[in-house]
């Protein structure tokens, strides 16, 4: 799948674009010449977020332009404030004029690149009308790499299950591995039983497109980081079939794998000094006479037995076998990302990435990083006293505790049972979908937590 890579424009003749905070807007307007002032006043430009001002020159071209930056309070209500005004700027190439600090300009520049994302695989989309010259003092190649990683995540999620089944997800991983000379190994179909991934096989066996485990490795020195992503290419719910309304968006149930592949792309393109492993159990949760059933008891790779009380709680099953493998070589850090529960969506909504981790240093590193890259996360508890909820008695574990109390927490606790040797384990229960257009995030698939994680890695892994 060709990846459109968002890049900065290169020109010496860009239109200057002033970023104007609301509280200094009056002063800024007063500094303009009289005709420009009059024009700005007539246009109602007040420096509010989403406002754009364009001052024409004598030839009808654009002499200069401005976007509002709002008040501090308004800026807290949203992210990517410059991007919010892009629909109101005329076509052209712009260059920021601003005394905002480099970190802020970097985030705003990233928002601009992320706004230019288009999903054009099935229908032509009009390309972005506005381009940005990389602001001085920012790490432009890094921002382009981050935007390209995010574009990959979005493309993978947006592609419907008809073209993004387990074989296609494998192909996407192979393409990425090839681009960065990573090694990749894939175990498919009944071979999953031979090499002991029984739960990945059980969940995926009902589908025509065979289940598989994708195992990619890159880098040969430095701390070991293993990313595990839920790759349920479509989640019908299985025999516990989802009602139509709940099934409607389930092409995005491989959002965790899309996120870890996007993050892996960022890590490899930046050449971070670490040993990366990416594990993706890729399956379709389908309905067929050979589908796994409620009350089946599966023996996992780790040996723990699991009673199936809902075939729709399939993500934790495929992840459990992948996590057990990840844990076998005790990396420095395991991170799983998954569209795991509807409960997470109910708890925090589509904008926040809920995550679980016991290590408080990692919490600090991630929270600081998240704030600096406009990728909000929210810590949830691995609440050990809830462990009995996932213990059915008849088997070691229950995949779908009755009552549904703390659904995201019990799912996270379930996963944690499969990581017993690795010192640090972090899990994200993401939504992976932007429900309506927002600045830098058009409606559709979206990465969550990836930019925050990337920014946290130097501290987290002492790179
Ligand atoms: N893929 C879903 C979770 C999901 C649903 C994520 C909607 C985002 C939006 C997952 O496989 C699932 O169906 N989980 C069940 C678990 C339950 C049966 C214990 C859920 O959350 O309802
Ligand atoms: Zn499900
Ligand atoms: Zn699912």
* pLDDT-flagged residues of the chain (< 70): 1-3
Contact 266, 454 (CB under 8 A): yes
Distance CA 9, CA 203 (A): 47
- State yes or no: is 277 an active-site residue: no
Q: Is 294 in the pocket of ligand 1 (CB under 6 A)?
A: no
Distance CA 56, CA 39 (A): 9
CA of 120 to the centre of ligand 2 (A): 28
Identify the sign of the CA torsion 444, 248, 448, 200.
negative
pTM: 0.98
Beta bridge partners of 284: 234
What integer pLDDT is reported at residue 2 of this predicted model?
Answer: 59
Distance CA 128, CA 153 (A): 19
CA distances from 300 to 307, 399, 414 (A): 11, 12, 12
Q: Minimum-distance ligand to the CA of 409?
A: 1
What integer pLDDT is reported at residue 389 of this predicted model?
Answer: 98
- In the chain, which segments carry CATH 3.40.220.10? 15-138
Distance CA 87, CA 442 (A): 12
Terminal-residue alpha carbon distance, the chain: 32
CA of 340 to the centre of ligand 3 (A): 6
CA of 340 to the centre of ligand 2 (A): 8
pLDDT, tens digit, 9 for 90 and up, residues 314-331:
999 999 999 999 999 999
For domain 15-138, the CATH architecture is: 3-Layer(aba) Sandwich (3.40)
- Ligand 1: atom nearest CA of 285 is 11
Write down the CATH number for the domain with range 144-460: 3.40.630.10
What integer pLDDT is reported at residue 1 of this predicted model?
Answer: 64
CA distances from 167 to 188, 253, 281, 432 (A): 9, 15, 11, 21
CA distances from 250 to 318, 342, 445 (A): 16, 11, 11
Q: Is 408 in the pocket of ligand 1 (CB under 6 A)?
A: no
Residue nearest to atom 7 of ligand 1 (CA): 342
- In the chain, which segments carry CATH 3.40.630.10? 144-460
CA distances from 189 to 162, 278, 314, 323, 405 (A): 19, 19, 17, 19, 35
User: How much is the CA Rg of the chain, to the nearest whole Å?
Assistant: 24
* Six-digit token string for 308: 């199936």
Give 3-state DSSP helix, strand, coil % of the chain, rounded to 5. Answer: 40, 20, 40
- Residues 228/233/236/240 CA torsion (nearest 10 deg): -30
Distance CA 418, CA 315 (A): 14
Helical packing angle, 450-460 and 140-158, nearest 10°: 130
Q: Is 217 in the pocket of ligand 1 (CB under 6 A)?
A: no
CA of 126 to the centre of ligand 2 (A): 35
- State yes or no: is 242 an active-site residue: yes
């Amino acid at each position: 799948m060709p990846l459109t890579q968002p890049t900065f424009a290169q020109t010496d003749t860009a239109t200057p674009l002033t970023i104007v905070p609301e509280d200094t807007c009056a002063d800024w307007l007063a500094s303009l010449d009289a005709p420009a002032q009059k024009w700005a006043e007539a246009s109602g430009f007040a420096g509010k977020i989403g406002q754009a001002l364009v001052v024409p020159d004598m030839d009808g071209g654009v002499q200069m332009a401005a976007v509002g930056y709002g008040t501090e309070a308004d800026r807290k209500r949203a992210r990517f404030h410059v991007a919010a005004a892009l629909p109101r700027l005329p076509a052209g190439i712009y260059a920021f004029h601003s005394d905002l600090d480099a970190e802020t300009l970097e985030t705003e520049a990233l928002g601009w690149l992320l706004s230019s994302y288009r999903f054009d695989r099935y229908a032509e989309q009009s390309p972005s009308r506005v381009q940005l010259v990389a602001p001085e003092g920012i790490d432009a190649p890094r921002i382009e790499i981050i935007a390209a990683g995010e574009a990959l995540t979005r493309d993978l999620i947006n592609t419907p299950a008809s073209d993004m089944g387990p074989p296609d997800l494998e192909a996407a991983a192979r393409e990425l591995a090839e681009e960065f000379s990573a090694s990749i190994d894939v175990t498919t179909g009944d071979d999953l039983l031979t090499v002991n991934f029984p739960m990945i096989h059980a969940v995926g066996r009902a589908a025509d497109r065979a289940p598989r485990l994708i195992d990619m490795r890159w880098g040969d020195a430095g701390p070991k980081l293993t990313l595990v992503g839920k790759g349920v290419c479509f989640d019908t719910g299985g025999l516990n079939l989802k009602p139509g309304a709940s099934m409607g968006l389930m092409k995005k149930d491989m959002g965790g794998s899309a996120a870890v592949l996007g993050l892996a792309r960022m890590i490899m393109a930046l050449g971070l000094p670490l040993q990366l492993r990416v594990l993706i159990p890729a399956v379709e949760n389908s309905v067929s006479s050979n589908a796994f059933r409620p009350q089946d008891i599966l023996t996992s790779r780790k040996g723990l037995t699991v009673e199936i009380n809902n075939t729709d709680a399939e993500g934790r099953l495929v992840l459990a076998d992948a996590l057990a493998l990840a844990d076998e070589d005790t990396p420095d850090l395991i991170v799983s990302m998954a569209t795991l529960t509807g409960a997470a969506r109910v708890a925090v909504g589509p904008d926040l990435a809920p995550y679980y981790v016991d290590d408080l240093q990692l919490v600090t590193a991630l929270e600081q990083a998240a704030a600096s890259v406009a990728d909000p996360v929210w810590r949830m508890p691995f609440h050990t006293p809830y462990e009995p909820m996932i213990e059915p008695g008849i088997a070691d574990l229950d995949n779908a505790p009755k009552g549904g109390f703390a659904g995201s927490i019990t799912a996270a606790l379930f996963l944690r049972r499969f990581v017993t040797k690795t010192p640090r384990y972090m899990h994200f229960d993401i939504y992976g979908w932007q429900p309506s257009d927002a600045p830098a995030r058009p409606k559709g698939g979206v990465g969550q937590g990836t930019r925050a994680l990337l920014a946290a890695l130097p501290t987290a892994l002492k790179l």
